[in-house]
Amino acid sequence: MIVNFPQDVRDWLVAHLERGTPPATITAQLEAQNVPAVLAAAIVDTVAHAVARGAPPPAGQLHVDETPVAAAPFRHEEPLHLGRAPVLDAGDRRVQVLARLERPAVALLSGLLDARECAALIALARPRLDAVRVVDPQSGEDVIAEHRSSEGMFFRPLETPLVERIERRIEKLTGIPLAHGEGIQVLRYRPGAQSTPHFDFLLPANAANRESIERSGQRISTMVMYLNDVESGGETAFTEAGLSVTAREGNAVYFQYGNRLGQSDHASVHAGSPVLAGEKWIATKWLRARRFVPRA
């Protein structure tokens, strides 16, 4: 793509880069001038590479290659949606932050749900459990997911007063509008069940995923809520980071993997470790970059 690149913009950008201003800061300033985020990042990328090679581009027209933005390393610039406070306001209750990890961006939360809410969610979900289906990456068809070996169901957004209460808490904590959320999924793992390492963001490898991204934007973050104490095993393992989160009733793990450029963080790869004893019940909320529009 060729963009207009006036002399004063060129000089301003090159001066900043040579002075060591972080590319993210420059990108943000371009965005503040109404340059779309992806384009701003691509322009800064292109000029930064040229400056690094000792050949600042001439003013006039700039040849910008936008593809590297998607392919480029994940820009880890966005702070955790939850903020930095040790205790968070979830609207109708307060939630403690027990631990944070910078990359992938993870926060372990305590007391997102109380014991009665966990039990009620399980009771609502139990009669509707079914073998978990996922989209087959090859065919795009729904298939029973061998690698997950759990049973699950989806609530519709706002389906019951309890579901709505939980969705409002997540909205309050993350600042991400409730409408961006997919319906809560409840999963039950029995002993031996697990989910193998995966990303929650959608790989555009099949038509179903591409259409979903088109409708609702990419998935950008996940709240996994633990509905019971697991006797043994069943941790949520961030395999690249080497972090294991213990499943404790009412706790939750929030992790974030999408940025404003539409990139997805591969460092967010995670798994549900095999349950060794007892059952594991979780409720998962996936959040999108835009309003979630289910498949018609």
Ligand X SMILES: O=C(O)CCC(=O)C(=O)O
Binding-site ranges for ligand X (CB under 6 A): 195, 200, 224, 236, 270, 272, 282, 284
What angle is formed at CA 174 by the lines to CA 170 and CA 175, rounded to 5 degrees? Answer: 105
| Residue with smaller CB distance to Fe ion, 3 or 269 | 269
108 SS3 class: strand
Q: Pick what 282 binds: Fe ion, ligand X, none; C-beta below 5 to 8 Å, kind-dependent.
A: ligand X
Task: Find the residue with minimal CB distance to ligand X.
Answer: 272
Question: What is the smallest separation between the CB atom of 72 and ligand X, expressed in angstroms?
Answer: 26
224 binds, among Fe ion, ligand X, none (CB under 5 to 8 A by kind): ligand X
- Alpha carbon separation from 103 to 27, 82, 87, 189, 268 (Å, rounded): 21, 15, 21, 27, 8
Q: Which residue's CB is nearer to ligand X, number 26 or number 223?
A: 223
User: Which partner from the list Fe ion, ligand X, none does 272 bind, CB cut-off 5 to 8 Å by kind?
Assistant: ligand X
Closest to 253 measured CA to CA, from 233, 215, 223: 223
Q: Closest approach of Cβ 290 to Fe ion, in Å? A: 20
The answer to whether residues 40 and 31 touch, using CB atoms and an 8 Å cutoff, is yes
The residue among 3 and 98 lying less far from ligand X, judged by its C-beta, is 98
Rounded least distance, CB 200 to Fe ion, Å: 4
Output 16 or 219, the one with its CB closest to ligand X: 219
First to last CA, the chain: 35
**Residue 252 belongs to what H/E stretch?**
strand 252-256
Sorted by sequence, the CB contacts under 8 Å of residue 66 that are 6+ apart come out as 1, 38, 39, 42
Residue 171 touches which member of Fe ion, ligand X, none, C-beta under 5-8 Å by kind: none
By CB under 5 A, name the binding residues for Fe ion: 200
